[in-house]
């Protein structure tokens, strides 16, 4: 029986053509900045994102934490969404690594409301912590792959510039946002002082993310990456996979979004559940009080070789990706309906 893995788009595996690109990669010592493949990847990524420069890092969490470190000093504060990845899934790294404090905003919106952000910004008096950074996530994982509205992004960035506060974008799935809105990715990241994008989610590379920004920011980021143990040697092997992903796997994200919509529509008639209308590739299934326990559903699906994840009490997360076909989605939907009906 074929395993259908809907836990995350991080479970994708390199396609044969990507493996061939890896095998043929020209490599060199990247600590000496002599790996031409990784240099090509960084130039390509910077051009796509409309930034001066970029840097390859092993993971998105490292990329976010490098950016936070570059923008802040110990004792500073960072404003962010209480539902964002940086706050929930990076193990308090901003405090542990950079000595800064998160100032989360709780909101039911898909964006950070500027009036609430204003209230979080500390007065410029010596006995207050300095508000050094604002972070945004697009798309937002915990909110079900929602896209940050462009007009709200502009409003936030305008406010931040007035207060001279840099803004960092956790754009792990920014290419999903680009496909969903039919807007070029450089337009979606325009105005952000730094951006992190993942190569190892929907784009299908086995490892890695990119940080992009100004030349000065990336030079500082290179030093912080080294401090964190991210200085790599013949890393062009991974860079080749990232290059292949950027050149071949962006447009195909449309299929993931289509499959997510098919899955959501197939589940919308279940009486004891609520399902979101997916904007991208993440379907959130909320179990009502009189329904099954989320862990029980996970285990019953696992018995049928269908893997799904949880996102807190009574919430299931199902993520479509390049390893999932329309037939897989329909099979998974039928299994979920049988268990919950």
DSSP, collapsed to helix, strand or coil, labels residue 209 as strand
Between the CA atoms of 186, 187, 191 and 194, what dihedral angle is there, to the nearest 10 degrees? -30
pLDDT surpasses 90 at 58: yes
- The DSSP secondary-structure symbol of 255 reads H
pLDDT of residue 172: 98
pLDDT of residue 1: 64
Question: What's the CA gap between 184 and 83, in Å, rounded?
Answer: 26
152-207 residue pLDDT tens: 999 999 999 999 999 999 999 999 999 999 999 999 999 999 999 999 999 999 99
Give pTM, 2 decimals: 0.96
**Chain centroid to CA 289: how far?**
30
Listed in order, the ranges of the chain carrying CATH 3.90.1150.10 are: 252-340
138-151 residue pLDDT tens: 999 999 999 999 99
Instruction: Tell me what the mean pLDDT of segment 76-99 comes to.
Output: 98
pLDDT of residue 256: 98
Per the CB < 8 A criterion, the answer to whether 120 and 131 are in contact is yes
pLDDT surpasses 80 at 269: yes
pLDDT of residue 272: 79
Instruction: Tell me what the mean pLDDT of segment 238-267 comes to.
Output: 97
pLDDT of residue 293: 84
Three-point CA angle 155, 104, 314, nearest 5°: 110
pLDDT surpasses 90 at 84: yes
Question: What's the CA gap between 258 and 255, in Å, rounded?
Answer: 5
Q: Which of 195, 168, 91, 145 is nearest to 311 (CA)?
A: 145
pLDDT of residue 341: 78
Fold of the domain built from segment(s) 14-248: 3.40.640
> In the chain, helix, strand, coil percent, each to 5?
45, 15, 40
What mean pLDDT, rounded, does the chain reach?
A: 96
Place of tokens 């979004």: 257
Question: What's the CA gap between 260 and 320, in Å, rounded?
Answer: 6
19-34 residue pLDDT tens: 999 999 999 999 999 9
For CA atoms 159, 164, 168, 169, give the dihedral sign.
Answer: positive
Helix H, strand E, coil C: the string for 45-77 is HHHHHCCCEEEEECCHHHHHHHHHHHHCCCCCE
DSSP 129-163: --EEEEEEESSBTTTTSBPPPHHHHHHHHHHHHHT
Q: How confident is the model at residue 312 (pLDDT cuts 50, 70, 90)?
A: confident
Listed in order, the ranges of the chain carrying CATH 3.40.640.10 are: 14-248
pLDDT surpasses 90 at 271: no
Instruction: Tell me what the mean pLDDT of segment 58-68 comes to.
Output: 98
Q: 252-340 has which CATH code?
A: 3.90.1150.10
Percent of the chain with pLDDT over 70: 100
Q: Could you give the count of Cα atoms lying within 13 Å of 332 in the half-sphere of its Cβ?
A: 31
Place of tokens 């792990």: 172
Strand pairing report for 167-170 and 131-137:
parallel
Q: How confident is the model at residue 281 (pLDDT cuts 50, 70, 90)?
A: very high
């Amino acid at each position: 029986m074929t395993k259908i893995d809907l836990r995350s788009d991080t479970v994708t595996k390199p396609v044969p053509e990507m493996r061939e690109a890896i095998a043929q990669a020209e490599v060199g010592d990247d600590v000496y900045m002599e790996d031409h493949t990784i240099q090509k990847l960084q130039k390509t990524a910077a051009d796509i994102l409309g930034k001066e420069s970029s840097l390859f890092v092993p993971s998105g969490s490292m990329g976010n934490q490098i950016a936070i470190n570059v923008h802040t000093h110990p004792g500073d504060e960072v404003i962010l969404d209480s539902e964002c990845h940086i706050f929930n899934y990076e193990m308090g790294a901003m405090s542990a690594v950079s000595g800064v404090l998160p100032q989360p905003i709780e909101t039911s919106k898909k964006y950070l409301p500027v009036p609430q952000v204003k209230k979080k910004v500390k007065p410029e008096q010596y006995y207050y912590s300095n508000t050094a950074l604002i972070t945004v996530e697009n798309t937002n994982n915990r909110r079900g792959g929602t896209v940050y509205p462009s007009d709200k992004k502009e409003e936030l960035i305008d406010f931040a510039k007035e207060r001279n506060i840099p803004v960092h974008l956790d754009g792990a799935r920014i290419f999903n946002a680009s496909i969903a809105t039919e807007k070029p990715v450089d337009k979606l990241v325009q105005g952000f002082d730094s951006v992190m994008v993942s190569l190892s989610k929907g784009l299908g590379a086995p490892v890695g993310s990119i940080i992009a920004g100004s030349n000065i920011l990336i030079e500082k980021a290179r030093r912080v990456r080294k401090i964190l143990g991210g200085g790599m040697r013949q890393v062009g092997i991974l860079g080749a996979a990232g290059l292949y992903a950027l050149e071949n796997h962006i447009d195909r994200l449309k299929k993931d979004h289509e499959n997510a919509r098919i899955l959501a529509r197939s589940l919308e008639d279940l009486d004891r559940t609520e399902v979101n209308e997916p904007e991208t590739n993440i379907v959130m299934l909320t179990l009502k009080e009189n329904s099954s326990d989320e862990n029980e559903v996970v285990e019953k699906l696992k018995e049928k070789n269908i893997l799904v994840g949880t996102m807190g009490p009574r919430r299931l997360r199902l993520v479509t990706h390049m390893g999932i076909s329309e037939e897989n989605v329909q099979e998974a939907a039928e299994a979920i309906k049988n268990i919950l009906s």
